[in-house]
């Protein structure tokens, strides 16, 4: 199809908008302003070309109109908008023209252009809403990660851990935690830069990487962990407030009730900040950050201030080398005094690295902000967590009494024990009795005592606990909102609704708030703290495994712009996270894995209709490809034979009986391909293939769907026979529906059908033809052509029930094994009886014999079936198969073929040649007489089948192999005669004469 070119170089199929610009005497051309005018001009080419005058506000619209390729005005150059369809919950992406549109010669009228330009003008004139606040890498990931990593452990527990583990092991604990966090951060950065990360943070990354089966459970568990984190940090803040109130003698009721009241008030205030939006939340976090930095500076300044007598009595002596050396080694105390107990206490302090990911929907550029901000946060917080053990370990001894009179004087007698002796203080009494109230090992407020201003450390504790609680309260609803919108779990969809320009999950905020209050009222933190650590470790492990799995699957879609990651580092992070879960709290690890396995099983069973292009899909492809290639080098063996079926179903939803029957014995056993031969005169909607696949998936049919366009059934079947499958995953059996309308339809159609059977045997395929008492088709062939689009647009849930979906009870499966075909006639019913719907059926085998050797034939067949290990012990010998059929049945057969006979013996030569030439399907008298005996045997066999198998669940009959000189219509009449008059499904089956059953071990 060529293109005609006009004198003005315009293309006939469409037009290129001409943009008229106003120019000044100097400078480049400028667009005219304040109006958009579309006028149609007539040129020498008689083409209507719009001249568009645009304003500065319409610049983008005009540029889009100009984005056509060099090939056609309809064809467009690559644009970012064309690829936005992969983004979830985005506005409808701008679509490029389809191939069909580009191939069609179409004219674009001016009215369509006017409507486009008018809509563009109206859109430009509309009021523009203020864009939602987006955060950079500093205010976003860096601040949020640092604030979440800096917590109460920094100020209230790190000094105590130093006294237990010593400076060296404390630094080792910090570095071990940082190692896990850094490996996880590298994995996070790789996943976050492998495409745009939407709101949902950790859940979004894991689910889109490992699929909904793994992502959904982790998303639910992680959202719950964030709720618990909010509750715990709020209770931690409330405990500090309660201690202050108690020190000033101001207690509301009792300590527990005070914590509950203060906690509820605090989380309510945090909720109000969260509801105000990310802008207010970020401002609050900046204030918390400043407060933490002030308290940290106050502590560092305090380490250089010479201590007074009071501080010395509390074990604070400033920088001393001997104190530093004595605190290098551990001094385990208590039942839980060991390395892993200290690690379990410290590790929750470093679980804030996911904070930047959890707000990725509020970042300007997540791909840049997340790696940059998170790595900076890890670096600076690691420095701070190393500085405190080094400084406090060099300034403070482990045990001190706090008594200013415990100085070591020249008149002191007796033995002095402890590091206080070298500093001029005698803390021997409380050290030996383990009753010291001060020092690294006894006082959790050591940093405040060392600080230049004690209450600045309290300010830091407040800021750290409140910032972490606020972050968790913000993260949990956003993660949960994303999970709810994916509709993976039932009854949670209402929490996915967003409000305002920033799409804030107000409903999820309220839910998180209520759950936080529940745990605040419990006010028991020790048990839940271990569970939270394991929840985060489990999340870290899956994030690292996601990165590792996406890398090893070699998916072309795995192209992270962050290059500083390694699959083995990611695997190390995954393994060490799981190991630490069991080392820290084994029972919590078991509980978490139990919950995740339950949630995984639910999603796996429900199989949600979503496709995220996960690495699991890529891994499945790799395994399938590798296995297929490996299988190609394996020689065929009779023990591994499987009936791999190419089923000519047409549209599968119109022949559900044929689909259900083949699926009954191939599901999870062998290959099934539904072939749809589309005649050239037929039309199908563009999404027909997708609708057929969805129909089969909803029907739980394990099959491929292969449409093929051909001029006839025979041509299409021949190509499918040769080209279907991959390597050894190639069909070896063709399954057809019975052509029940062979008498009424055009004879050419019947000949085409029979020739397809001939081609099947020529290609050494086995053959099955299924005949139903009511036919196979739901809709007639012609009705389908007329209502093709309507049928495909039907709801996929409209599933027609067939007899093969019902329990067959204790009926019989009758096998008429007339000819030895290699065993396929026995193998198919055996596979059927392995199914639940068929396993109660009794299988009967009918064979040909005579009265003289009937017992011997039965014994031989029974022995053969036993050697085959087939539980078909009911063998019936047909001794009357050689008798002539009843006259009425024979007459019915003769009448059925009468319209297709030439009756040439009753005509002269010339009158016979003419119809024979133009109607090759006609049966000559010579052929009819030559095959008379075979015809009578088919009719007689049908009488026997109808007599014995009227109430069977299924009848299988050996299909006769047609001789090359057998007329097509006569062969069709044989197939009809064999199976007519039955009220149950009948299967005409024939193997390719090669063994598919064996009783040998090798």
What secondary structure, in 3-state letters, does 800-831 show? CCCHHHCCCCCCEEEEECCCCCCCHHHHHHHH
Average pLDDT over residues 361-390: 86
Picking from 584, 580, 596, the residue whose alpha carbon sits closest to that of residue 180 is: 580
* Comparison of pLDDT for 241 and 106, the residue scoring more: 241
* Mean pLDDT, the chain, integer: 79
pLDDT band for position 784 (cuts 50, 70, 90): very low
| pLDDT band, very low/low/confident/very high, at 335 (cuts 50, 70, 90) | confident
Considering only CA atoms, which of 943, 935, 934 is closest in space to residue 979? 943
pLDDT band at 972 (very low <50, low <70, confident <90, very high): very high
Listed range (206-210, 474-478, 492-496, 894-898) with the worst mean pLDDT? 206-210
pLDDT of 200 reads 66
Instruction: Provide the percentage of residues in the chain whose pLDDT is more than 70.
Output: 79
Residue 551: is it exposed, middle or buried by C-beta count within 10 angstroms (0-12/13-18/19+)? buried
C-alpha dist (Å) from residue 711 to 716, 745, 771, 784, 902 = 7, 17, 25, 17, 29
Lowest mean pLDDT among 395-399, 554-558, 641-645, 849-853: 554-558
For residues 930 and 176, what is the distance between their CA atoms, to the nearest angstrom? 91
* Average pLDDT estimate for 167-172: 93
- 110, with CB counted inside 10 A (0-12, 13-18, 19+), is middle
The string of pLDDT tens digits covering residues 681-690 is 777 777 788 8
Residue 314 structure tokens:
């509390």
Whether 356 contacts 139, CB under 8 Å: no
Task: Please tell me the predicted confidence (pLDDT) of residue 3.
Answer: 39
Whole-number Å distance between alpha carbons of 586 and 340: 12
Residue 918 pLDDT class (50, 70, 90 cuts) = low
Is 70 exceeded by the pLDDT of residue 116? no
Residue 209 clears pLDDT 50, i.e. is over it: yes
Q: DSSP string spanning 25-55? A: SSSS-B---S--EEEEEE-TT--EEEEEE--
Pairing of strands 766-771, 812-816: unpaired
Among 639, 669, 642, 643, CA closest to 999: 639
Partnered with residue 674 across adjacent β-strands are: 647, 705
Considering only CA atoms, give the Rg of the chain: 41
CB 921 within 8 A of CB 750: yes
Give 892's pLDDT tier (boundaries 50, 70, 90): very high
pLDDT band at 904 (very low <50, low <70, confident <90, very high): low
What pLDDT is stored for residue 28 in this prediction?
41
Please give the model's pTM, rounded to 2 decimal places: 0.66
Kindly state the tokens that stand for 254: 């009792």
CB of 159 closer than 8 Å to CB of 362: no
Coil, helix or strand for 179?
helix
Q: In 486-563, where does DSSP find H-type helix?
A: 506-522, 526-552
The values of phi and psi at residue 990, to 5°, are -150, 125
Nearest partner of 941 among 980, 987, 893, 978, judged by Cα = 978
Mean pLDDT of 195-213: 73
The two beta strands, 766-771 and 986-990, are: antiparallel
Confidence of residue 100 (pLDDT cuts 50, 70, 90): low
Q: How far apart are CA 508 and CA 216, in angstroms?
A: 17
* pLDDT over 80 at 779, yes or no: no
Give the model's pLDDT for residue 72.
58
Q: 82-88 long-range contacts, Cβ below 8 Å, gap at least 24?
A: 86/195, 87/196, 87/198, 88/198
The DSSP call for residue 142 is: I
* Range from 111-115, 286-290, 455-459 carrying the lowest mean pLDDT: 111-115
Report the run of H or E that residue 954 belongs to, with start and end: strand 954-958
- Determine the pLDDT at residue 131: 57
What per-residue confidence (pLDDT) applies to 789?
Answer: 41
Which pLDDT band, with edges at 50, 70 and 90, does 113 fall under? Answer: very low
Lowest mean pLDDT: which of 116-130, 272-286, 696-710, 845-859? 116-130
255-275 and 454-485 helices, crossing angle to 10°: 60
Strand pairing of 954-958 and 733-737?
unpaired
pLDDT for 791 = 44
Checking if the pLDDT of 913 tops 60, the result is no
Token digits of residue 587: 């029972």
Q: How far apart are CA 445 and CA 402, in angstroms?
A: 13
Task: Give the pLDDT band of residue 841 (cuts 50, 70, 90).
Answer: very high
Residue 176, C-beta contacts closer than 8 angstroms, at least 6 positions apart: 343
pLDDT tier at 5, thresholds 50, 70, 90: very low
Residue indicated by tokens 């396995």: 597
Task: Calculate the dihedral angle through the C-alpha atoms of 482, 87, 488, 578, rounding to the nearest 10 degrees.
Answer: -70
594-599's contacts with Cβ under 8 Å and 24+ in sequence apart are 595/217, 595/221, 596/217, 596/218, 596/221, 596/538, 599/216, 599/217, 599/220, 599/221
- Cβ neighbours of residue 747 closer than 8 Å, sequence gap 6 or more: 900, 919, 921, 969
563 to 206, 522, 567: CA distances (angstroms): 19, 46, 11
φ/ψ region of 841 (left if φ > 0, alpha if ψ in -120 to 50, else beta) reads: beta
Per-residue pLDDT averaged across 222-231, rounded? 84
Residue 355 has pLDDT above 70, yes or no: yes
Instruction: Please report the pLDDT score of residue 787 as a whole number.
Output: 45
Per-residue buried b or exposed e for 629-648, using 16+ beta carbons within 10 Å of the residue's own CB: eeeeeeeeeeeebebbbbbb
Phi and psi at 906, nearest 5°, equal: -95, 0
Name the token pair of 301: 């300044």
887 or 152: which leads in pLDDT: 887
- pLDDT category of residue 170 using cuts at 50, 70 and 90: very high
Looking at the DSSP bridge assignments, the partners of residue 38 are 52
Band (pLDDT 50/70/90 cuts) for residue 235 is confident
In this prediction, what percent of the chain has a pLDDT beyond 90? 20
Cα(55)–Cα(997) distance, integer angstroms: 80
- Tell me if 477 sits within 8 A of 515, measured CB to CB: no
**CA separation for the pair 770, 957 (Å, rounded):** 10
In order of their start, the domains of the chain are 165-188+198-221+229-400+437-606 (1.20.1740.10), 643-777+801-806 (3.40.50.620), 809-902+918-983 (3.40.50)
pLDDT at 259 > cutoff 50: yes
What confidence category does residue 629 fall into, taking pLDDT thresholds of 50, 70 and 90?
A: confident
Q: For the residues 524-528, what does the mean pLDDT come to?
A: 61
User: What are the Cα distances from residue 250, in Å, to 235, 237, 255, 521?
Assistant: 18, 17, 11, 21
Contact between residue 180 and residue 541 where contact means Cβ atoms under 8 Å apart? no
What is the rounded CA–CA span in Å between residue 811 and residue 952? 6
> Per-residue pLDDT averaged across 957-979, rounded?
89
Q: Which two tokens stand for residue 350?
A: 């470093």
Structure tokens, 567: 């699959």
> H-helix or E-strand containing 878?
strand 874-878
**Does the pLDDT of residue 222 top 90, yes or no?**
no
Answer yes or no: is pLDDT of 733 > 90. Answer: yes
Q: Which residue has the higher pLDDT, 989 or 448?
A: 989
Half-sphere exposure of 733 (CA within 13 A, CB side): 28
What pLDDT score was predicted for residue 154?
Answer: 81
What is the Cα–Cα distance from 589 to 120, expressed in whole angstroms?
A: 57
Most confident listed range (223-237, 915-929, 955-969): 955-969
Q: Which residue has the tokens 């006894």?
A: 442
How far apart are the C-alpha atoms of 467 and 289, rounded to whole Å? 8
Q: Three-state DSSP class for 845?
A: strand
- pLDDT for position 361: 66
pLDDT in tens, 38-79: 333 333 333 333 343 444 444 444 444 445 655 556 666 665
Q: How much is the pLDDT for 994? A: 87
Per-residue pLDDT at 887: 92
| Structural element, H or E, at residue 737 | strand 733-737
Beta-bridge partners for 42: 48
What ranges in 878-908 are assigned the alpha helix state H?
Answer: 887-897
Q: Which residues pair with 645 in a beta bridge?
A: 672, 733
Helix (H, G, I), strand (E, B) or coil at 372: helix
pLDDT at 140 > cutoff 80? no
Q: Taking a C-beta distance cutoff of 8 angstroms, is the pair 351, 145 a contact? A: no
Yes or no: say if 720 and 708 are a contact pair by the CB < 8 Å rule.
yes
Name the token pair of 560: 């992270």
Q: What is the mean pLDDT of residues 177-196?
A: 85
**324-328, 362-366, 397-401, 581-585: segment of lowest average pLDDT:** 362-366
> Across the strands, what pairs with 726?
729
Contact 203, 223 (CB under 8 A): yes
Q: How far apart are CA 272 and CA 267, in angstroms?
A: 9
Tokens for 166?
């010593």
């Amino acid at each position: 199809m060529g293109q005609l070119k006009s004198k003005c170089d315009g293309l006939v199929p469409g037009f290129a908008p001409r943009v008229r610009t106003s120019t000044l005497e100097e400078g480049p051309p400028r667009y005219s302003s304040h109006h958009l005018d579309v006028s149609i001009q007539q040129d020498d080419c008689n083409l209507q070309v719009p001249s568009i005058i645009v304003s500065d506000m319409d610049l983008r619209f005009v540029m889009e109109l100009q984005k056509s390729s060099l090939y056609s005005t309809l064809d467009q150059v690559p644009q970012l908008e064309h690829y936005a369809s992969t983004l979830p919950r985005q506005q409808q992406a701008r679509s490029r023209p389809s191939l069909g549109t580009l191939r069609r010669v179409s004219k674009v009228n001016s009215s369509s252009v006017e409507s486009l330009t008018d809509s563009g003008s109206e859109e430009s004139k509309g009021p523009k809403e203020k864009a939602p606040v987006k955060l950079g890498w500093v205010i976003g990931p860096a601040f949020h990660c640092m604030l979440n990593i800096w917590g109460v452990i920094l100020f209230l527990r790190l000094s105590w851990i130093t006294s237990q583990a010593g400076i060296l092991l404390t630094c080792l604990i910090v570095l071990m935690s940082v190692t896990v966090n850094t490996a996880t951060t590298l994995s996070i950065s790789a996943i976050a830069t492998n495409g745009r990360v939407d709101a949902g943070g950790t859940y979004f990354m894991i689910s889109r990487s490992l699929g909904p089966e793994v992502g959904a459970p982790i998303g639910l568990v992680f959202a719950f962990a964030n709720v618990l984190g909010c509750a715990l940090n709020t209770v931690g803040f409330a405990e500090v407030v309660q201690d202050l109130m108690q020190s000033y003698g101001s207690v509301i009721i009792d300590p527990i009730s005070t914590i509950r009241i203060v906690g509820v008030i605090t989380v309510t205030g945090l909720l109000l900040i969260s509801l105000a939006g990310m802008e207010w939340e970020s401002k609050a976090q900046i204030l918390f950050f400043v407060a933490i930095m002030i308290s940290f500076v106050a502590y560092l300044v305090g380490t250089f201030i010479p201590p007074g007598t009071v501080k010395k009595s509390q074990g604070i002596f400033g920088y001393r080398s001997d104190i530093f050396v004595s605190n290098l080694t551990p001094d385990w105390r208590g039942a839980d005094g060991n390395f892993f107990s200290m690690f379990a206490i410290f590790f929750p302090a470093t679980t804030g690295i996911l904070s930047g990911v959890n707000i990725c929907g509020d970042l300007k550029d997540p791909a840049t902000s997340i790696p940059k901000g998170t790595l900076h946060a890890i670096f600076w917080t690691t420095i701070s967590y190393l500085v405190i053990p080094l400084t406090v370990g060099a300034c403070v001894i482990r045990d001190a009494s706090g008594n200013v009179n415990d100085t070591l004087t020249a008149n002191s007698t007796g033995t002095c024990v402890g590091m206080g002796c070298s500093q001029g203080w005698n803390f021997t009494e409380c050290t030996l009795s383990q009753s010291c109230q001060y020092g690294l090992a006894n006082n959790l407020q050591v940093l405040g005592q060392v600080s230049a201003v004690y209450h600045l450390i309290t300010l830091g504790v407040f800021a750290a606990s409140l910032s972490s609680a606020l972050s968790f309260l913000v993260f949990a609803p956003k993660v949960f909102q994303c999970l709810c919108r994916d509709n993976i779990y039932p009854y949670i969809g209402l929490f996915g609704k967003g409000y305002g320009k920033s799409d804030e999950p107000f409903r999820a905020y309220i839910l998180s708030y209520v759950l936080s209050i529940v745990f605040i009222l419990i006010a028991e933190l020790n048990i839940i703290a271990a569970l939270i650590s394991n929840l985060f470790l489990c999340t870290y492990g899956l994030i690292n495994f996601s990165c590792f799995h996406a890398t090893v699957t070699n998916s072309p879609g795995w192209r992270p712009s962050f290059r500083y990651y390694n699959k083995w580092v990611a695997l190390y992070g995954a393994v060490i996270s799981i190991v630490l879960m069991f080392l820290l709290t084994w029972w919590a690890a078991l509980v978490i894995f139990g919950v995740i396995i339950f949630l995984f099983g639910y999603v796996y069973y429900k199989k949600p209709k979503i496709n995220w292009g996960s690495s699991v899909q890529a891994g499945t492809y790799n395994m399938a490809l590798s296995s297929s290639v490996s299988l190609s080098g394996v020689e065929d063996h009779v023990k591994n034979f499987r009936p791999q079926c190419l089923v000519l179903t047409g549209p599968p939803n119109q022949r559900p009986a044929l689909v259900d029957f083949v699926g009954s014995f191939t599901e999870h056993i062998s290959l099934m391909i539904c072939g749809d031969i589309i005649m050239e005169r037929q039309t199908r909607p563009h999404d027909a293939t997708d609708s057929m696949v969805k129909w089969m998936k909803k029907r739980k049919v394990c099959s491929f769907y292969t449409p093929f366009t051909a001029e006839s059934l025979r041509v299409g079947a021949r190509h499918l026979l040769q080209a279907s499958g991959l390597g050894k995953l190639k069909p070896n059996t063709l399954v057809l529906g019975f052509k029940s309308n062979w008498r009424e339809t055009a004879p050419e159609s019947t000949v085409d059908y029979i020739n397809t059977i001939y081609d099947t045997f020529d290609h050494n395929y086995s053959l099955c033809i299924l005949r139903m008492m009511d036919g196979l088709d739901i809709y007639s062939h012609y009705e389908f052509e007329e209502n093709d689009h309507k049928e495909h647009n039907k709801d996929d849930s409209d599933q027609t029930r067939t007899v093969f979906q019902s329990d067959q009870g204790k009926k019989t499966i009758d096998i008429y094994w007339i000819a030895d075909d290699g065993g396929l006639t026995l193998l198919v019913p055996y596979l059927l009886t392995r199914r639940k719907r068929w396993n109660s059926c009794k299988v009967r085998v009918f064979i040909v014999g005579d009265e003289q050797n009937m017992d011997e034939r039965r014994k031989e067949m029974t022995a053969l079936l036993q050697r085959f290990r087939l539980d078909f012990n009911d063998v019936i010998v047909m001794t009357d198969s050689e008798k002539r059929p009843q006259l009425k049945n024979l007459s019915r057969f003769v009448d059925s073929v009468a319209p297709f006979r030439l009756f040439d013996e009753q005509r002269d030569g010339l009158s016979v040649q003419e119809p024979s030439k133009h109607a090759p399907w006609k049966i000559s008298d010579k052929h009819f007489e030559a095959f008379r005996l075979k015809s009578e045997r088919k009719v007689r066999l049908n009488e026997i089948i109808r007599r014995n198998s009227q109430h069977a669940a299924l009848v299988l009959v050996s299909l006769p192999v047609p001789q090359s000189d057998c007329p097509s219509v006569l062969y069709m009449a044989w197939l009809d005669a064999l199976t007519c008059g039955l009220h149950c499904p009948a299967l005409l089956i024939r193997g390719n004469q090669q063994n598919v059953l064996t009783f040998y071990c090798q």
